[in-house]
Amino acid sequence: MKIDTVKTVADVLYEKNLLTSDQLSAVKFENVNTGKTVENIIKERGYVGEEDYAEAFGAVYGIQYVNLVPTQVDPSAFDLVPIEMAKKYKIVPFEMKDNSVSLAMADPMDLPTIDFVERKTGFKVIPFIAASKNLDRLLEEQKGKELGAEITAALEEITQTTLKIEESGQEITEATLRDAPIARIVGMILETAVKLGASDVHFEPGENKSRLRYRVDGVLDEKRTLPKEMHDSIVARIKILSKLKIDEKRVPQDGRFKVEVGKITTDLRVSTLPTVNGEKVVIRLLKSEGTIYSYRDLGMRGLTLKRYEEAAMKPNGMILATGPTSSGKTVTLASTLSKLNTVRVNIVSIEDPVEIRVPGVNQVQVNPQAGLTFAVGLRSFLRQDPNIIFVGEIRDNETAELAVHAALTGHLVLSTLHTNSAAGAIPRLLDMKVESFLLASTLNAVLAQRLVRKICPNCSEEVETPEELIKSISDVVEKMKANKVLMAKDLEAAKVIKTFDPAKFKIKKGKGCLKCGNVGYKGRIGIFEVLPSTDKISLYTLENKPATQIEEAGIEDGMITLLQDGYLRVIEGITTIEEVMRVTK
């Protein structure tokens, strides 16, 4: 590298008539008075264009100037350096010869970058100088080619019905994000989601970073942030796989695809949403055939289980499951349908969307754009000779009225409703203009449920219990103990109540370990209340009594409330009081 110690960049530009004598004098004057380098002064004052400056700089320092076009870039050389690193340091490897690589640089005097590239690639670097905008243009074009190759690969993949992900067992690290192609990064994110047992994956764009979050056991947890410049490529990859429009970023879109990790096949439901910082993507993970649980696996037991089974075994009537979103209603009702499904019955369902596939059940997806709503589907079901009908959700007066009439005409109808308690479902349906005498004669039972996280069995330990907490648990236990119907009919609950000793009781908590991801919880279980349709409940329905009175009538008849069921789980060491309060209060 031969340096001309006499001439400066300013002198070379002046000789080429690119600087006037006044400009040259001004540069040298500021150089002497401020100590700024001639190069920086010329850049700050913007006397010449980037190309002219780079060529003059090269002439002074004996570095060859290049003005590259895409055809001059050798792909094998370009692949030596990750594109994000190339963009950060404004470098483009464009040619390989023997043991050296030609490196176009915006700043060829950046020795640490040259040293880093040499160590990373194992090649000797020959620096060239290029205009910054020339390098930017090349990098953008190469990134476009890379994304195009990924899109082609993704299109090839979706000719198959399932995206197969090779199990890597690796975590997503900074090195992975820097070096790995987008396809592999998306694969690792989905692999992690499946292995964690996550129900949802969130990609959320921010101003400077993108946030990656997983919902595990009902709670969202931020796993890491992603570089902002990577967000659009990740979204494009997911859109291709779920057959969405890549160029449509102004309106929400919905799609789905499948992934196979090891022997686990998972349905993915994809939803995009335009935000001020870019497109947010949420992926819902649904096991392909849907896991069907027994009632006991779900958490039902004792009198609650007995009454729910009795209601489900009736040939007609209506069963409602209530609770907020993600409280497990669909899983409970899908398990019920699976249990009732035999060759002797015809079961039809209309859902939005179909989340759990139940073999042998005729499941229909709501499609409002085509005019297929819950009400329209339910009306057509009555001409399909059904025995059992599942309506995903009762949202309006028309659907409520049709569901009640279907139950009245000899069908067993199962559906969900968004109320906080079992008793609250009756006033809600009456508010939807369902006739009270029809509801009183068709309702079999109302189930309310929540999901609480279970204490991790691997790191569970007893901890000191505050006196006020023991008193709170004791008050709930005493109320249940005073309920003679409950103590006589629910032997499982009675056993827990009788063994509770406030003087010896200590709550359990998970201290956090590798098996639970250091959160202290692993898995979930349901807490339930079942309100059966007794003569008194039917009378209260006819008289349009408030939910509080209906609930009191249920408790008198032995019903365990959600809060009480949760406290029993705390006494047994299955969950924590914080979890019970989180979902019930």
Residue pair 473/570 in contact (Cβ under 8 Å)? The answer is yes
pLDDT classification of 452: cutoffs 50, 70, 90: very high
Compute CA distances 530 → 107, 294, 318, 425, 551, whole Å.
73, 17, 13, 12, 10
Task: Please indicate, yes or no, whether residues 119 and 236 belong to a single structural domain of this protein.
Answer: no
Task: Specify the 3-state DSSP secondary structure of 430.
Answer: helix
What is the residue range of 326's domain?
A: 295-584
Query: What is the predicted pLDDT for the residue at 145?
Result: 56
Residue closest to 216 by CA, chosen among 514, 509, 521: 521
Instruction: Report the helix count and the strand count for the chain, using DSSP H and E.
Output: 25, 19
Least confident range from 278-287, 450-459, 489-498: namely 278-287
Angle between helices 50-61 and 132-157 (to 10 degrees): 110
Inform me whether the pLDDT recorded for 103 exceeds 80: yes
Inform me whether the pLDDT recorded for 226 exceeds 80: yes
Helix/strand/coil (H/E/C) assignment for every residue in 530-543: EEECCHHHHHHHHC
Q: Which residue among 90, 111, 139 closes a domain?
A: 139
Task: Please indicate, yes or no, whether residues 53 and 101 belong to a single structural domain of this protein.
Answer: yes
pLDDT classification of 58: cutoffs 50, 70, 90: confident
Residue pair 449/327 in contact (Cβ under 8 Å)? The answer is yes
* Residue ranges with strand state E in 323-387: 347-351, 362-365
Query: What is the predicted pLDDT for the residue at 78?
Result: 83
Task: Classify burial at 19, counting beta carbons within 10 Å of its beta carbon; exposed 0-12, middle 13-18, buried 19 or more.
Answer: buried
Query: What is the predicted pLDDT for the residue at 291?
Result: 60
Task: Please indicate, yes or no, whether residues 119 and 228 belong to a single structural domain of this protein.
Answer: no
Task: Please indicate, yes or no, whether residues 349 and 436 belong to a single structural domain of this protein.
Answer: yes
Query: What is the predicted pLDDT for the residue at 160?
Result: 47
Q: How many independent structural domains does the chain possess?
A: 3
Least confident range from 175-179, 389-393, 452-456, 490-494: namely 175-179
Query: What is the predicted pLDDT for the residue at 159?
Result: 45
152 found inside a domain: no
Inform me whether the pLDDT recorded for 517 exceeds 80: no
Task: Please indicate, yes or no, whether residues 98 and 241 belong to a single structural domain of this protein.
Answer: no
Task: Please indicate, yes or no, whether residues 134 and 209 belong to a single structural domain of this protein.
Answer: no
Task: Please indicate, yes or no, whether residues 539 and 399 belong to a single structural domain of this protein.
Answer: yes
Over range 496-504, report the average pLDDT.
92
Specify the CATH number for the domain of residue 16.
Answer: 3.30.300.160
83 found inside a domain: yes
Pairing of strands 443-455, 317-322: parallel
Task: Classify burial at 61, counting beta carbons within 10 Å of its beta carbon; exposed 0-12, middle 13-18, buried 19 or more.
Answer: middle
Cβ neighbours around 313 below 10 Å, total = 11
Query: What is the predicted pLDDT for the residue at 521?
Result: 92
Task: Please indicate, yes or no, whether residues 333 and 189 belong to a single structural domain of this protein.
Answer: no
What lies within 8 Å, CB to CB, of 439 at 6+ separation is 404, 426, 429, 430, 541
C-alpha span between 384 and 512 (Å, rounded):
52
Query: What is the predicted pLDDT for the residue at 144?
Result: 54
Query: What is the predicted pLDDT for the residue at 61?
Result: 86
Helix/strand/coil (H/E/C) assignment for every residue in 273-313: EEECCEEEEEEEEEECCCCCCCHHHHCCCHHHHHHHHHHHC
Tell me, what amino acid is at 304? T
C-alpha span between 538 and 424 (Å, rounded):
14
246 versus 291: which is more confidently predicted? Answer: 246
Specify the CATH number for the domain of residue 422.
Answer: 3.40.50.300
Compute CA distances 98 → 17, 63, 282, 308, 490, whole Å.
40, 20, 48, 77, 83
148 versus 93: which is more confidently predicted? Answer: 93
236 found inside a domain: yes
Query: What is the predicted pLDDT for the residue at 288?
Result: 55
* pLDDT tens readout for residues 386-411: 999 999 999 999 999 999 999 999 99
CA angle 8, 11, 15 (to 5 degrees): 145
Phi, psi (degrees; rounded to nearest 5) at 169: 70, 10
Over range 100-125, report the average pLDDT.
89
Inform me whether the pLDDT recorded for 148 exceeds 90: no
Residue pair 281/184 in contact (Cβ under 8 Å)? The answer is no
367 versus 170: which is more confidently predicted? Answer: 367
Instruction: Please name every residue paired with 395 in a beta bridge, in sequence order, or none if there are none.
Output: none
Inform me whether the pLDDT recorded for 19 exceeds 80: yes
Q: Which residue among 81, 112, 139 closes a domain?
A: 139
Query: What is the predicted pLDDT for the residue at 104?
Result: 92
153 found inside a domain: no
Q: Work out the percent of the chain whose per-residue pLDDT is above 70.
A: 91
Pairing of strands 278-287, 347-351: unpaired
570 found inside a domain: yes
Cβ neighbours around 246 below 10 Å, total = 13
Task: Classify burial at 311, counting beta carbons within 10 Å of its beta carbon; exposed 0-12, middle 13-18, buried 19 or more.
Answer: buried
pLDDT classification of 457: cutoffs 50, 70, 90: very high
C-alpha span between 462 and 511 (Å, rounded):
10
Cβ neighbours around 479 below 10 Å, total = 13
309 found inside a domain: yes
Query: What is the predicted pLDDT for the residue at 14?
Result: 85
Query: What is the predicted pLDDT for the residue at 80?
Result: 82
C-alpha span between 329 and 530 (Å, rounded):
13
144 found inside a domain: no
Give the tokens for residue 358.
């139940």
Least confident range from 28-32, 104-108, 440-444: namely 28-32
Q: Work out the percent of the chain whose per-residue pLDDT is above 90.
A: 47
Cβ neighbours around 387 below 10 Å, total = 16
Task: Please indicate, yes or no, whether residues 128 and 162 belong to a single structural domain of this protein.
Answer: no
Over range 542-563, report the average pLDDT.
95
What lies within 8 Å, CB to CB, of 512 at 6+ separation is 456, 459, 518, 519, 520
Q: Which residue among 107, 139, 171 closes a domain?
A: 139
Cβ neighbours around 50 below 10 Å, total = 16
Most confident of 43-57, 139-153, 406-420: 406-420
460 versus 50: which is more confidently predicted? Answer: 460
Task: Please indicate, yes or no, whether residues 274 and 307 belong to a single structural domain of this protein.
Answer: no
Round the average pLDDT of the chain to a whole number and report it: 87
What lies within 8 Å, CB to CB, of 152 at 6+ separation is none
Specify the CATH number for the domain of residue 230.
Answer: 3.30.450.90
Residue pair 414/391 in contact (Cβ under 8 Å)? The answer is yes
Cβ neighbours around 6 below 10 Å, total = 7
Task: Specify the 3-state DSSP secondary structure of 497.
Answer: helix
Over range 558-572, report the average pLDDT.
95
198 found inside a domain: yes
Which residue bears the tokens 């509080």? 548
Task: Please indicate, yes or no, whether residues 176 and 58 belong to a single structural domain of this protein.
Answer: no
Task: Please indicate, yes or no, whether residues 350 and 455 belong to a single structural domain of this protein.
Answer: yes
Least confident range from 355-364, 385-394, 429-438, 551-560: namely 355-364
Pairing of strands 347-351, 253-261: unpaired
Which residue bears the tokens 């991790």? 456
Q: Give the chain's end-to-end CA distance (angstroms, integer).
A: 74
